[in-house]
C-alpha cells in the first residue's frame, strides 16, 4: 500500500510524547520507561493506532506498545492518540527485529492483526506466523507468552493454525467468524471495520507458549 507523505509527520515524530526516540536504548528498561512493572503488550504493525490506543484506554493496568515501520503512518497514530495515555508508547521500527528492542521476558503478549498474507507459496517465510517468526517470538517471551492473532484471510489463517501446531503452541478461542460468535470485548482495527462492513468473516485465535 502506498502511503502519502504528510508534511507535518516529521515534527510529529520528533515532538509527540507517545513516540519513543531511540527505542533500542530501552531494551531491558521498559519498566523504567513506563514507571511501573505492569505487563507489556505489543502490537506488530499497529498502523494508524486505533486498536492499540483503544486497548491502552480500556486497560490502564497494562502497558501497550505499537510498532509500525512506516513513519508517516506511526505519525498519524501518535496524533490520533491524544493526551492522557501514559501506558501507551509508539515505535517506528521494523517489528521483525524485536530482539533489538526487548530483553528476554520483557513482554508477555503480541498482537498480530491483519498482517500481509503473502499469498504466493514462495513467500511463506515472510508471513508473521511462519514458524521461523514464531520461534523468534518464543525466544523473546522467555518463560511464557501469548499471541492474539486476527485476519480476514482464510488461507493465512489455516496456514497459521498449522504453523502454531507444528511449533507446539497451545491454541484456544479459535473463531472462524468472530463477529458472529459469542466472543465479548473485541476491539476492532481499522482494517477489521472495513472488512466486516463488506460482510467478510474475521478469523481469530490465541496461542500460548511456555518452557
pLDDT one-digit tens code per residue, 112-125: 999 999 999 999 99
Check residue 2 and give its pLDDT. 47
Question: What pLDDT score does 83 carry?
Answer: 87
In a domain, 169, yes or no: yes
Q: Report which DSSP code applies to 94.
A: -
- Asked if residue 170 belongs to a domain, the reply is yes
Confidence check: pLDDT of 1 > 60:
no
- Asked if residue 128 belongs to a domain, the reply is yes
Query: Structural domain tally of the chain?
Result: 1
pLDDT value, residue 6: 74
Rounded CA separation 160/142 (Å): 21
User: Taking 70 as the threshold, does the pLDDT of residue 135 lie above it?
Assistant: yes
Whether 177 sits among the annotated catalytic residues: the reply is: no
Considering the domain boundaries, does residue 2 fall inside one?
no
3 lies in some domain: no
Main-chain dihedrals φ then ψ at residue 83, nearest 5 degrees: -105, 170
pLDDT at 109 over 80: yes
**Residue 155 within any structural domain of the chain:** yes
Domain that holds residue 43: 9-210
pLDDT at 3 over 70: no
Would the pLDDT of 55 be above 70? Answer: yes
Does residue 175 lie within any of the structural domains? yes
* Whether pTM exceeds 0.85: yes
What CATH number corresponds to the domain at position 64?
3.40.50.150
What's the burial of 53, exposed, middle or buried (CB within 10 Å: 0-12/13-18/19+)? buried
Grid cell of 57 as nine digits:
484506554
Does residue 4 lie within any of the structural domains? Answer: no
Residue-wise pLDDT for 136-162, tens only, equals 999 999 999 999 999 999 999 999 999
Q: What is the pLDDT of residue 9?
A: 82
Sign, CA torsion 111/116/121/126: negative
Catalytic position from the list 37, 94, 116, 177: 116
* Number of neighbouring beta carbons within 10 Å of residue 16: 15
Better-predicted residue by pLDDT, 156 or 1: 156
Amino acid at each position: 500500500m502506498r502511503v502519502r507523505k504528510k508534511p507535518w509527520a516529521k515534527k510529529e515524530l520528533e515532538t509527540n510524547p507517545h513516540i519513543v526516540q531511540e527505542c533500542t536504548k530501552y531494551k531491558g528498561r521498559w519498566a523504567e520507561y513506563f514507571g511501573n512493572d505492569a505487563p507489556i503488550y505489543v502490537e506488530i504493525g499497529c498502523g494508524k493506532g486505533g486498536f492499540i490506543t483503544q486497548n491502552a484506554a480500556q486497560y490502564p493496568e497494562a502497558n501497550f506498545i505499537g510498532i509500525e515501520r512506516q513513519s508517516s503512518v506511526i505519525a498519524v497514530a501518535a496524533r490520533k492518540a491524544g493526551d492522557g495515555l501514559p501506558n501507551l508508547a509508539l515505535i517506528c521500527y521494523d517489528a521483525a527485529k524485536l530482539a533489538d528492542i526487548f530483553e528476554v521476558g520483557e513482554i508477555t503478549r503480541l498482537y498480530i492483526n491483519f498482517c500481509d498474507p503473502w499469498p504466493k507459496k514462495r513467500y511463506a517465510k515472510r508471513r508473521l506466523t511462519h514458524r521461523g517468526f514464531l520461534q523468534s517470538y518464543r525466544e523473546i517471551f522467555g518463560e511464557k507468552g501469548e499471541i492474539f492473532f486476527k485476519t480476514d484471510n482464510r488461507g493465512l489463517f489455516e496456514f497459521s493454525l498449522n504453523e502454531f501446531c507444528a511449533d507446539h503452541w497451545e491454541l484456544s478461542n479459535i473463531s472462524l467468524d468472530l463477529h458472529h460468535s459469542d466472543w465479548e470485548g473485541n476491539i476492532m482495527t481499522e482494517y477489521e471495520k472495513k472488512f466486516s462492513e463488506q460482510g467478510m468473516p474475521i478469523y481469530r485465535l490465541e496461542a500460548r507458549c511456555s518452557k
